[in-house]
Structure 1
Amino acid sequence: MRAAVPLFVQNGYRGAPLAAVADADAAQLTQPGLLHHFPSKEHLLMAVLEERDSESRAAMREALQEGGDAALHALEDLVERNAGTPELVQLFTVLVGEAVAADHPAHAFFVDRYDHIRDRITAAIRHGQETGTFRTDTDPETVATLVIAMMDGLQIQWLLHRELDMNRTFRQFVTILRHHLTTHDQPS
C-alpha cells in the first residue's frame, strides 16, 4: 500500500499501472506477487482508502458522539492532523476528484463516506441543539454540508498554495460557526 500512495498521488488511480506499484522500492514485488496480496488494482485502491480513513475515523468517533462544541474542536484537530500529512491529503483530493465519475471503482466508497460524515456531523450539531449548547433555528444538515465543503475546499487551496495556514483559516471558520451556533439572538 505504501508503494501505491505516491503513484496514485502523482498519476491518479487510472494512471498508475499495477506493474509500477509492484516495481516500486516500497513494494519490491513482481506483479503476480502484488496480485497475491491484492487480487486486483481495485482491491489495492480500496485498501489504500480504508487505511487512509481509519485513523481519522477513530479520532473523530468519540468527539462526534459527544456532539456540540467537542465536535467542533475535533474537526479543528482533524484539520491540524491533515496539515501534517500533505501526501495523504493530496491522495484523497486526487482520488475523490476522479471518483465523481460513476464508473470509477471508488465512486461508491466516496458517496458512502460523504453520506456517513455528513450524518455524523449533523447528529453532533443536533445533539448540541438538544442539549441547549447550540441554537435550534439552524438546520444541522446544512451546517454539516458547509463544514465538509470548507474542509475539502480549504485542503485544495492549501495543496495549491502551501503558504496558506490551513489550521488558522479553519479555526477562524469554526470561530465564526461557533458564534453563529451559540448566539441565541434569533435572526429577524
Structure 2
Amino acid sequence: MTPETRRGYAKGRARRTEILDQAMALFGEAGYRGASLRVIATRCGISHPGLLHHFPTKEALLLAVLQRRDDVDDAWLAPSVNRGVEHLRRLTDLAELNAQRRGIVELFSVVAAAATSPDHPAHAYFENRYRTSVANTERAYAEAREDGTLRPDTDPATAAQQLIALMDGLQIQWLISDCATDMAGVLRAHIRAQLTVEF
C-alpha cells in the first residue's frame, strides 16, 4: 500500500467519524425522523452526495451510530471475561461512562422510544439489543448464584429484566434532571441489596 493510499484511507476514516459525530448530535436534537441527511452533510462541510458515498441511506447512518455505541459498551462488558458479580460491577462502570457522554445517552433514549414502532428502521436493532442485554445479565446473575454470592430469594431472570429496565429509566431521569441523577450510585445500591458479598 502506497503512502498516498494510506493517507486516503485515513482521511476517509476521519470523515466517516465526523459524519457519525454530527449524525449522533442531530439525531439527539431532532430525533431520527426529524434529522436531515442534508443538514448533517452541511455540518460536516461536505455535499449531500459526499455523505451518501459513506452512508448510502439514513437508516445505514443511524445503525452505524448505534453500532458505534455498542462497540464501546461491548469493550466494557466482554461476557467472556467478566462473569457473575464482576459482570454486574461492569454495568455500574458503564453507567459511570454514560455520565460522561450525554449526547449518545440522549440519542439512545430518543431513538429507543421511537423504535417501539415496528416500522421504525431501528426496531429490529433494539429488539435484538434488549434480548441480548437481558440474556447476558441473566447469565451473570445465574453465575453469581452458582458462586454463592446471590441472595437465595433473587431470581436471575426477573433480576435481569429489572436491572436493564432500571438502567434505561435512570438514563431518562439523568437527562431530565440535567445530569444530577447518580445513575451508577443507584445501580450499585440496587445490586448490592441482591448480593451476599461486598459490592
- TM normalised by structure 2 equals 0.83
Name the residue aligned to 1:179. 193
Runs of 5+ consecutive residues of structure 2 not aligned to the other structure? 1-19
* Structure 2 counterpart of 1:16, from 35, 55, 72: 35
Q: How many residues align?
A: 178
Where does residue 57 of structure 1 map in the other structure? 74
- The equivalent of 2:60 in structure 1 is 43
Query: 1:77 is matched with which residue: 93, 98, 101?
Result: 93
Instruction: Provide the C-alpha distance between the structure 2 equivalents of 1:172 and 1:6, rounded to a whole number of angstroms.
Output: 27
The one-letter code of the counterpart of 1:29 is I
Using the alignment, how far apart are the partners of 1:129 and 1:163 within structure 2? 34
Give 1:139's match in structure 2, choosing from 155, 169, 186. Answer: 155
Alpha-carbon distance in 2 for matches of 1:67, 1:175: 19
How far is the alpha carbon of 1:66 from its aligned partner? Answer: 3.3
1:101–1:107: 8 Å Cα contact kept in structure 2? yes
Structure 1 residue 3 displacement after superposition: 1.5
Tell me by how many angstroms 1:7 deviates: 0.9
CA drift of 1:163 comes to 5.2
Q: Can you give the 5+ residue segments of structure 1 that lack an aligned partner in the other structure?
A: 184-188
Q: In 2, distance between residues paired with 1:128 and 1:161?
A: 33
**Structure 2 vs 1, CA of residues 132 and 46 (structure 1 numbering), >3 Å: closer, same or farther?**
same
* 3-state SS of 2:193 partner: helix
Q: What one-letter code is carried by the residue in structure 2 that aligns with 1:171?
A: G
Q: Deviations over 1:139-181 (max 9, x none)?
A: 21111111111111111011011252324xx434433432333
Following superposition, the deviation at residue 43 of structure 1 comes to 0.5
Change (3 A) 1:163 1:18: closer
CA RMSD of aligned residues (A): 1.7
Does residue 128 in structure 1 map to residue 139 in structure 2? no
Match of 2:128 among 112, 120, 130: 112
Identity rate, percent: 42
Answer whether contact 1:96 1:110 (CA < 8 A) is retained.
yes
* Residue 34 (structure 1) aligned with residue 34 (structure 2): no
TM-score, normalised with respect to structure 1: 0.88
Q: Distance in 1 between matches of 2:187 and 2:129?
A: 23
